[in-house]
Structure 1
């Protein structure tokens, strides 16, 4: 399973947070990014994390994750994915891409998704809610890397998900769906924790 690498996407601008940085919001006494990097590291898999730059304030919260600067982060999620894929070691057989603003994705969820990977011919594995709504993380086999390096805009890898076989992997409750983009999202989530 060590041929799988986790890529946390943390280079976005938090543009909908009204001046706050969603990845530095406090969750269980630590910044969300620190929590997500720690959960990813606890899988035992290599962890890479995209950042706007190596000197960005978020860099102090990445723990043992390998930072990948994304100077063109303003373009959107595709820039993060392109830079992240390009940084992966050659022996990487699959990459699990996870936006870092998803505080309900646990270490066990990442391991559960990774356990469904069956080598080069494996379908793309996409986490889903208990009732089957598609979410994150998404695990891409190496054959997808070339296409991932050509993405552009802020659509992430959606285009690739229509041209590849995709297997849904349900995670508990709404773990695969909860992403927090606005102060209102954060307030509502904290209220119901």
Structure 2
């Protein structure tokens, strides 16, 4: 039986893949193999393409050419963030602006270092956004922010005001913006920041295959 997936009209997706991976040392965590021949960023993009709205915009920055090569053959569009050293906010701005410029009603924002993000988490956030695409929808786990996040086109001014290595949550709170919280489970909060995280991810993949 086919499951109907509810989506806001004209939705797009943004996958953030520009960061410096400072906590990983000298290595770019997105290019580390989570299993033989499969970099983290490719697994994350494949998860996004399994359920997230298209087009999928991948925001590059640090080692942009290598990230693009790692995603060869996948159905995604690349957006370069020349100011990637500024942090997360610049990548959100670049991806959001590009999607808005091509007529998107909003974007589903995903992180490139979340190779275990379940399709169910994407479906839950997008389903809530379909109920009211003008609302910001935040995945949560046990009351804490998780991913993905739905950002509607109407908050473009807030996105433009983002600075530094942070997301939109603090600015939304300052503007008394209402957010819809959707519980998505522990894998919606699991990203890979350190060598220890990477070792656990590889062990998990070796055991489960996903």
Query: Is TM > 0.5 for Structure 1 vs Structure 2?
Result: yes
What is the match of residue 4 of structure 2?
none
Structure 1's unaligned 5+ residue stretches are none
What is the match of residue 41 of structure 1?
49
Distance 2:95 2:34 in 1: 25
**What SS does structure 2 have at the residue aligned with 1:175?**
helix
Structure 2's unaligned 5+ residue stretches are 1-6, 206-210
Residues 1-193 of structure 1 correspond to what in structure 2 (within 5 A)?
A: 1=7, 2-29=9-36, 30-43=38-51, 45-46=53-54, 47-52=56-61, 56-62=65-71, 63-88=74-99, 89-118=101-130, 122-129=134-141, 131-162=142-173, 163=175, 164-172=177-185, 174-191=186-203
Cα RMSD for the two superposed structures: 2.1
**What SS does structure 2 have at the residue aligned with 1:152?**
coil
Distance 1:24 1:67 in 2: 16
Q: Deviations over 1:18-74 (max 9, x none)?
A: 111111122244111111112212226111010017952111123221110011101
Distance 1:12 1:54 in 2: 9
Following superposition, the deviation at residue 191 of structure 1 comes to 4.3
**What SS does structure 1 have at the residue aligned with 2:89?**
helix
Residues 1:121 and 1:109: Cα distance change in structure 2 (over 3 Å)? closer
TM-score relative to the length of structure 2: 0.82
Task: Check the 8 A contact 1:120/1:141 in 2, yes or no.
Answer: no
Residues 1:44 and 1:156: Cα distance change in structure 2 (over 3 Å)? closer
**What SS does structure 1 have at the residue aligned with 2:110?**
strand
Task: Check the 8 A contact 1:125/1:138 in 2, yes or no.
Answer: yes
**What SS does structure 1 have at the residue aligned with 2:143?**
coil
Residues 1:155 and 1:105: Cα distance change in structure 2 (over 3 Å)? same
Residues 1:81 and 1:44: Cα distance change in structure 2 (over 3 Å)? closer
Larger helix proportion of the pair? 2
Distance 2:198 2:62 in 1: 25
Following superposition, the deviation at residue 120 of structure 1 comes to 6.0
**What SS does structure 1 have at the residue aligned with 2:146?**
strand
